[in-house]
Every structure is written in structure tokens, then in C-alpha cells.
Structure 1
């Protein structure tokens, strides 16, 4: 039999003895601590000497952080599949994707009947198991809202609501020995989970062949079925006494052909012996992994695909899915995958990428870039996916999704030095910094990802007091177009360090940022709802007060078109907890217009930007226009009034900048707009874009520059609005150095200078 290419797994088969439950749990915890992947437990509900397996699985999952858990195998006749589907998805969600479903047709029928189960013949058991698998998969499929209906001979569901969807694609591993069960394994399961000592007739070679034949008959690739193996008669000894009865080196020699020649990729030892578990984890598992990796590299065995046939059928012609490195393939999402609906869209824009890659470390990002460059399709990079410009998804291309790279660390509290990965959400950053008395200005919405905002500028609720987010970046890790992993700061690649603070999306994938945070605990927040019928007057009064206010105060004003006319919402944030000073700064704003509602309170900054964790499905306004204003003059306000009273523009938002933002010299970062006081954005529905453009053209003479991330047009002529002449010229030279082939060309692509020869 061939090597099917699966990643190797190593685990334990622990006896769930009720006489000493603490020892059972301790062995599972040891399984994790030793570095093994999986803890499994037999399921015999009729045996009063055993703990209930489902309760035990839940308890162990809660006591561990990384360990996968599974029954070995669950007794289906006593666990109805509709309820089992709900329980499995729930445990998978609670454990963050660490549950696998080992499942059996039933045995020891006297005990099953004694608990009220129905005795089945072997043929009936196979049919019941097939029906159960259909119910399980149907219940987990939330891509349709149709009720799940099945009229089976053994299990029926007249009209079951689907869901919840599990956290990952739960593997269904069958304990199978007889030909019909083996055929079913190939046709419908994700894995085969036998015990070596029970594989007699048919033997393991014939059984593997029957699984392959079952898969091919069902139109599946046999490589989709993982082969796992329980091993009971094992021990370590100084000298070899037989199969898996000897030193660790002998174990490796004897298990290696079972991987390379028979296709087994998971080995589970059934000895409740702490010493044996530790030696298996520390001396056998790493050595076998190394030996298998060496042989696979020599023979060119491709990584296995665990995708079902329906998913494989949707693969885009011309994209070499099989060439994905195993570490990327393990977390990749394709059309038809359960996670595809959650991975394909951004918050604003709907997309249909051919492949979403979800790397976990910088080296995997490098592999992803290397792979994507060889495919000849559009490449997008996503941190949080909220970006208004909508460029973090595409149609028919590849998305590098950084959501798994989401750590937040305080490196040095005394220096206020923090390290953020790009997939972290700013609301979570605020929450994790709060116990340290730190904060970082981060827009106005907690679901925004770190990567996009912190490489473009970062206009947030604390901007006038502390400046832009990029003004606090002191170092970064970036993977460039040629897959180099570079640390950039003032002393290392200073030109690239300058460029990523304002134009980061053009130069690579930023995989970590180091920033100097600032001391912020509570902030004073006021929310005003204002009748905006006198839109021009409201805007000029608000803007004048903002410019006169102390730097501690930043404000965002949004105007919405409603059936009764424009309505405004004003957010005022005073960066400090001095109530008297905050009140003095906030009070003048109650006179900007007729108030429809108001509230003010002192709150932690983390509460202000708490993440709602919204699901992204392209629900936003897809067309936006962005510009910067030095001041809101009467003429600019009149233009914006005309825009919002037309009924053709859905929303306009103005954000205050100035203050500390303008203390920075224009040439210090690639964001050169350091004299303006306001950023303005307007958005509307797709069918009214022409009207928006007409109104924007009227406002355009009053604008000076653009905030890149709020603009959805990609006209190259707009580059000089985002990057003034000297800035753009310098960016083009750096682009030619680090991305001469313009690999990163989705986010306001900067053309490389033609007269620069890249240095390596």
C-alpha cells in the first residue's frame, strides 16, 4: 500500500476507569505535556466500571489546551446521531477545534440491549452507521437554511434544524474490521481506526485495499481517508523481544514501513503507563516524524487532501492545490469547505477566492507567498478583513488570511513596548493591554485587524493626543515578495521601515509589529445624536470646536440620510480620567445643534472599542470616497450639505486629526499628510455611485490628500493624492528594491521605479 501523505499523529488510548478518575485525567494531561497529539478513550456505556466517555471527553478538553480528544470508538446504538451531532459540534466549539469523532457500529449486544438499545445484525449495523454519518454531516452543514430531513430504516429526522457548525471539520473515524464496514469507511468516512491485534481476517493489507476500493467506487481519492492504528502489545526494553518490544530505535524502524508502505499515519498506544507514554512522545514520535519527512522529500510524496469529493470537484483549473506545503494545506480553505463562507468575504466586499491560506507563523507566510507567485492568479492579504477599501478578498485568486497570527504581548512594561501580530483585532488588543494600564489608538471599531490599520496610518479615538498608530511603530517583521523574513527598524532596512508606515501593503506581508504604547486607563466618552437639518452649520460649529479643543479630545462625526432628513451622531473622546477637565472640554459641543439624545460616561478604553465579532459576509457599502481637509470652511460645509441632502449618499463621516498627528514631520513616514485637521469619507449603494462621484467632484477642490484605506477606487491617478510627489518617488524606488515584480499589487499598487536595480 502507498504512503497517503498525511501528517503524522501520535496519541494514547486510556482506560476510563471509574475507580480512579483522577488518574485517568492525569494520564490525559501527561499525554499533552509529553507532546503527543491525541488522547482517546473506549466507550462502553453498559460497563459501570467505566466513566461515561462523553463526560470524560468534555472534562479532558477543558483541562488541556492543545490536545485533541476522541472516543475510540463511540457506541452508536446508545448515542442517537441527531443528538450526537449537536454534542460533537458543541464540544468542538468549546475546545476550539480539538474534537474528533471515533465511531463504531456497536458490539457487546447483550449490554446494549440491557440499556434499551436495539440489537442489530452486522448488515443492519453498517446501514445504521451510514445513516448516522449522513445525519451528522447534514447537521453540521449550515451553508443552507433548509431543514435536514432523512427517512432512514434506523435513524429518521423529519425536520431538524441544522447547526451549530463545529469549529473545524470534525473527522469521522470508523472502527471497522469486516469487508462491508471497510467499504463504508472508504465511501463515507474520514479515517479508519482499528486495533492492530484485532486485524486478522481480513488482515491489515487486505483491509487497506478494501478501503481504497470503497473510496474509488464512491468517486473519492483513497488519500482522503486517514489510517490510524491502536497498539496495545507494546513496551520499551534494552534489547528487542519482538514487534514494538524493544528500544525506541527499533520502534522507529518497525513503524516506518507501516507509514511508507501501508499508509498508516497515526499511532495510538494502549498502555496506561506514564513512563511508556513519555518515551513514546520524546523518543519515538520525533524520530519517526524526521524519518518519514526525509523519505517523503526523497520520493516526492504529496501531502494528502482531506477534502471530500464535492470539494475537490470545485477546484479551479490551473491552480496546483497538491503543491501546497503540508503546514499550509492543513489550514487552507477551498470552495465547498465548511469554513469557506466564513473565509471568502471581507466585512465590506463579497469574494470568491479559489483558495484561502491561513498561515500560523512567518515561515508559513513565506511559503504562502512562494506558492502564490507560482500560480498566476490574484493575491490578496487579509489581517482582520474589515478594511473599507475591500481589497482583502478577490475572485478566483488566493487570499493569505493572517487571522491565526493574532498574539498580543507586552514585551517590556517599563518601556511600554508591545508586540502585535497582524491578525489580532484591535478590540482584543485593547482588552489585553488594559490590565497593564496601556492602550494604542486603533480606529473606532474593535473588529478591525492590526495589520491593515497599523501599516496605513491609524486614525483613532486617541489620535489628537497621541498621534497615528504608525507613529508608535518601532520595529516590524515582514515577509517580502521573494519570501525573505526581515526585521525592519531604524537600524535595519530603514528605507523599508519608513515605507511600511503608511504604504505597508505594497511591500510584503507584515507578520509582527513592535509599538510603544501609552499610559491610558479610563477615557471620558460622550455620544450626541443631533438633528442635522442645518448640516453646514452643524459641521462648521463642530469643526471649530474640535480645532479649539485641548489635544486630549478627539471626535468623529457621522451624518446619515434618513426619511426625515439628515441625522448626525457625534462621538467625543477625552483621553484622560480627569472628570473636571473632560467636562470642560466636552460641554461646548452640546450647542452644535438640536440634540435628540446625549450620554456621557467614564469608561475603560477597552470598553469603548470592544469587538463585536461580527461575521463577515460583504454586508457593507462597497463604494466609498476619501479625502483630507485642512479646515471645514463654509464652502466645504455647503458642498457636504448638498451631498447629504440629495438623498443619493448614504453616510458621511468626518474624523478629527491634527494635534499630535501634525507634530510629526511629513517626511518621517510614508504617510505624509501632517497639516490637515480632518479626514472625510462618504459612501453609498452601488446603484448610486455616479451620484456620489458627482457630489465628490464638487467637494474635491476643498480637499488636500487622501486617507488610503477609506477609498475604494483604484485609479492610478489617485496615487498622488495618497502619496504626495516626493513621497511617491521614494516609495517607487523602495518598491523596485523589494518588490520589483509588483507581487503586492492589490492595495493602491505603487509601480516600481524603472531605473533601480534590486540589491540582494
Structure 2
């Protein structure tokens, strides 16, 4: 019996956490958002997920679904509704080592996935933080440390086990339910609740890992040279750049990952980055892939990083684009700007192959404002950058709306996503709902 929900279904006995439960404090929120749901359900099977969906329908409760809780939109919690927390669904199995096929449940964290696959000499490119849940990335895209060598996480999903909003469990693959497989790879949140994925991993153990600190000139030529290097670089190299204002100077903190354990390959691949500007700090070493998404990242999510985030994609780095980036970094109310390299394997699929359609852009740019600054500060800093972007990545948008949907799912992709959301979830059970 739960005071807020009344009599519970038998299959959910002991799996519902309410505000009077000592576990509630560590389960109610996400990384960016403090929530106050009526209850959090901790399903241990697909059947439990279906029971939780029925419970939300019968009680008329707003619904939130959470795999890990790092999602920037905070949609993994709510106030007064029901949260389905998938963290108890965390099995990781190698199904077929020869074909590198692994099965990963949605509530697993990527640190645990990397840890489990390492003894098999396998890895999945999966974001950049070990505490991120599998389900969010694997239904939204997946821009990770190996993106130019491996592609996006969704590019290697071969099947998805999905609980549809009506409670039906479906396995979607290329032969059975191909439309569901398509939408779950990039726009899954509006079609069903993924409980497990079959993913083709890559052969990998150790990688080259480097850090550079580079002064950025006011015109942004440093950033243009970085973009030019990345366009010419072999697929093994993926980079992320964080821009920071240091007094009157902008500085780029560059993290580079080379998907190789060969010292000569790592050295030759990294060398061109040393020519992008005045390098103040440089270090490089060979490390296990697990060190990029380590288990020490694992932590409860309690709303500790309140922020507003948006993003866009650059096809090229023009002088005006580079100048806009340095201006945003040095503004009176600066925001955090990050650049993630794309290209390589992320360009291999056709734009229609998955619901992530952005297959020609070379850079993902992410802007974040942190409390006490909010959306107004972010919007003011983002406006000059927005005109240089083409498309967006759904997982780095903290205020999803119709405009951000159109950017993430442009043209025919958006039309197909909308059609499939309406087909699989005609009542809009999984659609974002306004707060009561």
C-alpha cells in the first residue's frame, strides 16, 4: 500500500518508493533537476515496466522514465507524478564474441558496460561520463570518445527490446518491427520504453589519451586550425574542446582520444594538433578505455548540477563562426562552450538510416549556463552562434520544444518521427507534459 497511489499491483510489491521511504532522497532527482514525484518505481523486468505504465494510466499521473539520470532536460523526474527508474535493469552479456554482439539493459551505466566488456577486448563508444545510463544515449544518439572511429552508439544497435505504452513487449530488429527499430535509434523517447539493446561492439582495449591547453586568438584562428586538423585526421582521432575565458584571453582545453594502442600511431595522429596554436600544456599517455568512463564516476543524482544547455551542429568552421565562438566565451556573462568532433564513421550511414539524421556536419557545439545564471543568459550568448548551426542533437537540449524538435529532426526525418510516435503512442503517454 502506498498512501499516494493506493493499492499497488502485486508485481510491484516492494518496488515502489514514496516520499516516506529513506531511499526517496537519492531517487527523486536527476543530475540537473530536483524532482518531487509522488513515487519512483524500480522495475526488475519488462513486466514490471508494463505494470508501472498501467499504474500511471489508472492513477492519471504524469510519467517520467529514467535510465541514468544525467539527461540535461531533467525529464527523468517530475513533480507529483510517477518516475520509472530502470536502474535495476542493468545486465550486460556478451551474446556472441565472434560477431562482437552484446546485450545491455537500459539501466546499466556506461562505466559498468566498459568494465564488463574489457575482459573480452571490446568497447562501445558511449558518451563521455561513466555515470550516464545506457537507455538515454542509446535512444538519442551517442556521441562518445570514439565517435569518429566507431560512429554513434545508435549506429551499432541491432535490436531493441521495447515496452510500448500499451504494455506490450516487442523486440524490434531489421526483420521484425523495422520502423520501431528506426525510431528507437535516435528518437526513442516518444515511442516506447527500451529495456535492453543488442549492440555490435568494437575491438578495443587501450587508447591514446592526450590533454592540450591552447591559447585562442580573438579572431578564433586557433579554432579554425583545430577544425582543419580534424577534417584531415584519421578516424582513430576524436577530440573534445572546452573553451574558457582566462581574463582577457580565451583558452581551449583539448581532450584527444586515439583509438589505438600503438605508440607510433598515437604520436603521428596527435602531432598535427600541436600546430593549432600556442600550446601551453601538453600530456599524452596510453590508458585502458575504462579510464575514459571510469567506475569512480558513479554517483547518486541529486540535482547537483543545475544548468541550462543547448546545442547545434557546424558543417564548417568559417571565420565568422570561429569569431562568434570566441565572442561568446569572452562575453560579460560567459557560458561554457564545448566542441565535439564528428566526421569519420559518424558520416558513414545515410541520413535516413536512423532517426539521428545529421550525417555531414563536422562539429557539435554545446553551450551551458550554470546556476545562478539561467536560460536568459544562455539564450543571449547562444543567439550569435545559432545562425551558424545546422541541426541539433536531442540529448544536449535542456528545454525541448517544437523549435528544438525541428532542429533535431529536420524535414522528412521529423515527419517520420512524428508519425511513428503517434503510431506507437497514440495517447501521448510518453510525450513531455506541462507541469501541473
| TM bracket (short chain) | over 0.9
Cα 1:747–1:707 change in 2 (3 A) is: farther
**Matching residue of 1:718:** 404
What is the CA deviation profile of residues 629-676 of structure 1, one whole-angstrom value per residue up to 9, with x for unaligned ones? 111211111111111101423311111111111110011111111010
What is the CA deviation profile of residues 541-599 of structure 1, one whole-angstrom value per residue up to 9, with x for unaligned ones? 21111111111101011113455754321111111112111101101212323333221
- Structural mapping, 1:422-461, within 5 Å: 422-461=106-145
**Matching residue of 1:673:** 358
Cα 1:450–1:535 change in 2 (3 A) is: farther
Deviation of 1:695 after TM superposition, in Å, equals 2.6
8 A Cα contact 1:476 1:488, kept in partner: yes
Deviation of 1:535 after TM superposition, in Å, equals 6.9
What is the CA deviation profile of residues 493-551 of structure 1, one whole-angstrom value per residue up to 9, with x for unaligned ones? 11111110000111111000001111111111101123346471221121111111111
The structure with higher relative contact order (CA 8 Å, sep 6+) is 2
Q: 2:230 matched to 1:546?
A: yes
What is the CA deviation profile of residues 110-143 of structure 1, one whole-angstrom value per residue up to 9, with x for unaligned ones? xxxxxxxxxxxxxxxxxxxxxxxxxxxxxxxxxx
Cα distance between partner residues in 2 of 1:710 and 1:480: 25
- Structural mapping, 1:390-539, within 5 Å: 390-532=74-216, 534=218, 536-539=220-223
Selected match of 1:707 from 380, 393, 397: 393
- Structural mapping, 1:66-85, within 5 Å: none
Selected match of 2:29 from 309, 334, 345: 345
**Matching residue of 1:627:** 312
8 A Cα contact 1:501 1:669, kept in partner: yes
Cα 1:498–1:662 change in 2 (3 A) is: same
Selected match of 1:569 from 225, 247, 253: 253
Cα 1:606–1:452 change in 2 (3 A) is: same
Q: 2:48 matched to 1:364?
A: yes
8 A Cα contact 2:308 2:398, kept in partner: yes
Deviation of 1:747 after TM superposition, in Å, equals 9.3
Cα distance between partner residues in 2 of 1:438 and 1:404: 24
Cα distance between partner residues in 1 of 2:310 and 2:270: 29
Q: Secondary structure at the match of 1:474?
A: strand
Cα distance between partner residues in 1 of 2:162 and 2:255: 35
**Matching residue of 2:378:** 692
**Matching residue of 2:328:** 643
8 A Cα contact 1:648 1:684, kept in partner: no
Q: How many correspondences in the alignment?
A: 432
8 A Cα contact 2:32 2:305, kept in partner: yes
* Higher share in strand: 2
**Matching residue of 1:240:** none
Deviation of 1:621 after TM superposition, in Å, equals 4.0
Selected match of 2:367 from 654, 658, 682: 682
8 A Cα contact 2:218 2:323, kept in partner: no
Q: TM-score, normalised by structure 1?
A: 0.55
Selected match of 1:595 from 259, 262, 279: 279
Cα distance between partner residues in 2 of 1:393 and 1:361: 20
**Matching residue of 1:326:** 10
What is the CA deviation profile of residues 248-275 of structure 1, one whole-angstrom value per residue up to 9, with x for unaligned ones? xxxxxxxxxxxxxxxxxxxxxxxxxxxx
Deviation of 1:470 after TM superposition, in Å, equals 0.4
Cα distance between partner residues in 2 of 1:661 and 1:331: 39
Cα distance between partner residues in 1 of 2:152 and 2:322: 25
Q: Secondary structure at the match of 1:736?
A: helix
**Matching residue of 1:120:** none
Q: 2:76 matched to 1:389?
A: no
Cα 1:638–1:564 change in 2 (3 A) is: closer
Cα 1:580–1:747 change in 2 (3 A) is: farther
Q: TM-score, normalised by structure 2?
A: 0.95
Deviation of 1:326 after TM superposition, in Å, equals 3.2
Selected match of 2:298 from 580, 596, 613: 613
Cα 1:514–1:485 change in 2 (3 A) is: same
Cα 1:606–1:375 change in 2 (3 A) is: same
Tell me which moved more, 681-690 or 474-483: 681-690
* Higher share in helix: 1
Selected match of 2:419 from 698, 710, 733: 733
8 A Cα contact 1:535 1:566, kept in partner: no
Q: 2:228 matched to 1:560?
A: no
8 A Cα contact 1:552 1:574, kept in partner: yes
> Is there any run of 5+ residues in structure 2 with no aligned partner, and where?
none
Cα distance between partner residues in 2 of 1:336 and 1:568: 47
Cα distance between partner residues in 1 of 2:75 and 2:290: 28
Deviation of 1:718 after TM superposition, in Å, equals 2.2
Q: Secondary structure at the match of 1:322?
A: coil
Cα distance between partner residues in 2 of 1:491 and 1:726: 23
Cα distance between partner residues in 2 of 1:421 and 1:747: 26
Larger Cα Rg: Structure 1 or Structure 2?
A: 1
What is the CA deviation profile of residues 390-439 of structure 1, one whole-angstrom value per residue up to 9, with x for unaligned ones? 21111111110000001110011111110000111111101110000000
Cα 1:327–1:723 change in 2 (3 A) is: same
Cα distance between partner residues in 2 of 1:437 and 1:596: 35
8 A Cα contact 2:243 2:337, kept in partner: yes
Cα 1:459–1:342 change in 2 (3 A) is: same
